[in-house]
Structure 1
Amino acid sequence: MPLILAATPIGDPRDAAPRLAEVLASAEVVAAEDTRRLRRLCAALDVTPTGRVLSYHEHNEAARTADLVEAVAKGESVVLVTDAGMPSVSDPGYRVVRACVDADLPVTCVPGPSAVLMALAVSGLPVDRFCFEGFLPRKDGERRRVLEELAHERRTMVFFEAPHRLATALSAMAEVFGPDRPAAVCRELTKTYEEVRRGGLAELAEWAVEGARGEITVVVSGLPSGVGVMTLEEASARVAELVASGVRRKEAAAQVAAETGLSKKALYDSGLTSPPSP
């Protein structure tokens, strides 16, 4: 029997795939990120697990992975569920999948709701090409470094974010990607207070200061086609050239920002901190 990754609803339990109830009822082992949430889900689905129920979360997955792999190797049916969505996607699961693959054991899944795909679909942003970036780092420097690496990404980008860090994250995106870069903040998808807020990054950051609650997915447009790819250092040099030719720094920063898609503020500030040219 394979390891079964079972997607769970991201909000409304009625979105559960019919096969989810079947595998939860019949599995010999059910590994859950939160066993209390599993009980609530099973109650909503009117199903009672008959196998062993184990906890499997970020604090014990390293130690418990071997037990799950051993169970799969013995031919037991093992189902892994997380609190919402697909296991291993910004949730526990990658360790045991990797371990099963390394042991040449089968892995399959029960598909289901996805916050990433739903947010993309309702965002109003291009969906022909996209990338999922998960959660941004919590520390300011690390967050900025990751965003600067994505400054030239042309695909639509999808992020998860905690509500208490949303305003800070959107402000950082506005600085690196530009204040007018189109984006959408999707919160509480499929739940009673579902909300999709669309606008430029700076506008959304200002809105988020008042506080946003619930599970949040952020969708950000990629760098527009036709906009030149240039590093911040190269763009800052271009600003310096324009200033040397007599263009006001504010106007030079705005011009280069429009040419490159980089943040006007970052370009303006870089000129203030850069050493003078010889």
Structure 2
Amino acid sequence: MSEPVLYIVATPIGNLADLSERAREVLDSVDYIAAEDTRHSGRLLAHFNIKGQMISVHDHNERQRCEHIINLLGSGHSIALVSDAGTPLISDPGYHLVRAVREAGYRVSPVPGCCAFIAALSASGLPSDRFQFIGFLPSKSGARLQALEALAGNSETLVFYESTHRIVDSLGAMSQAFGADRYAVVARELTKTFETIHGDRLSALVEWVQADSNQQRGEFVVLVQGAAPDPRTDSIDPEAERILRILAKEMPPKKAAGVAAEITGEKKNRLYQLLID
């Protein structure tokens, strides 16, 4: 490799055959591999006979490791950052390191591949043109419910990560915050032997998971259908609404609606009614 680079390398989330050829070449060519858990990633590297020197970079030491890794880059070394599974930085450590490396003037290059929530979204049957990735919810029940209630009106598909010991409680909180009839999909152990992708009303999903202890094990992606659109605004383009609200800060409603209609092509009366409502 002709220049020092920090590579952000996606690794399999279960099936080792999902490691891309480019990812394998990069991992085999860099001088150091920065891993969230060196023992876990060591098994992956051993499987592919990759013998790079490993550095531990996790939640508790990431900020301290930044200077060391930047010094290695300054000495001409290239480094690959990997997480335990999937794409680094997606609900995993790495943000502080990537920012520090970029600010130090070194190139950061992504080596794309597996990402659990993208894999789940692609197979869920839920709308994927607009979605919001939330990641892990707060561990305490009160904070978790509060976070979910704040999302209840969002119209885009909502995507969460969840762990074995909280999946039942989290589904119950979602049913409470979003309504028992809101449709959702639980994707469990993706690409692994016991992969499960199951969709139903939230209340039914709670019962389904509670009734089968096997469905409470593993790593989870939970995808929740967005709230039904408000019939008063469902035909108004979001960009038109954004422009309208900006104009409304400086103009009376009728004038703001007229100017927004001229800019966007939306009907003036509907824009005006939106402001009034």
CA contact 1:7–1:84 (8 Å) conserved in 2: yes
Please point out which of 12, 17, 41 is paired with 2:15.
Answer: 12
State the one-letter code of the partner of 1:215: E
Report the alpha carbon displacement of residue 20 of structure 1 after superposing the two structures with TM.
1.5
Superposed, 1:200-239 pairs within 5 Å as 200-210=201-211, 211=213, 212-226=216-230
CA contact (8 A) 2:134 2:158 kept: yes
Aligned-residue CA RMSD (Å): 1.5
Instruction: Confirm or deny that 1:22 pairs with 2:25.
Output: yes
Percent of counterpart pairs with the same letter? 45
C-alpha deviation, 1:140, in angstroms: 1.2
Match of 1:209, SS? helix
> Aligned runs of 1:1-278 on 2, under 5 Å?
1-49=4-52, 52-210=53-211, 211=213, 212-226=216-230
The count of residues paired between Structure 1 and Structure 2 equals 227
1:62 positional shift = 2.1
Preserved CA contact (<8 Å) 1:13 1:45: no
TM-score (norm 2): 0.78
C-alpha spacing 1:74/1:193, structure 2 compared with 1 (3 Å): same
TM-score by length of 1: 0.78
Instruction: Give 5+ residue unaligned stretches, structure 2.
Output: 234-277
With over 3 angstroms needed to count, the CA separation of the structure-2 counterparts of 1:141 and 1:48, relative to structure 1, is: same
Q: Which runs of 4+ in 1 moved over 3 A?
A: 226-229
Answer yes or no: is the 8 Å Cα contact 2:66–2:101 preserved in 1.
no
1:22 Cα deviation (Å)? 1.2
Return the alpha-carbon distance in structure 1 between the equivalents of residues 64 and 125 of structure 2.
Answer: 43
Unaligned runs of 5+ in 1: 230-278
Q: Which amino acid aligns with 2:224?
A: V
Q: Provide Cα deviations, 1:132-171, integer angstroms capped at 9, x if missing partner.
A: 1000001111111211111111110110001110110011
Query: Whole-Å Cα distance in 2 between the matches of residues 104 and 120 of structure 1?
Result: 35
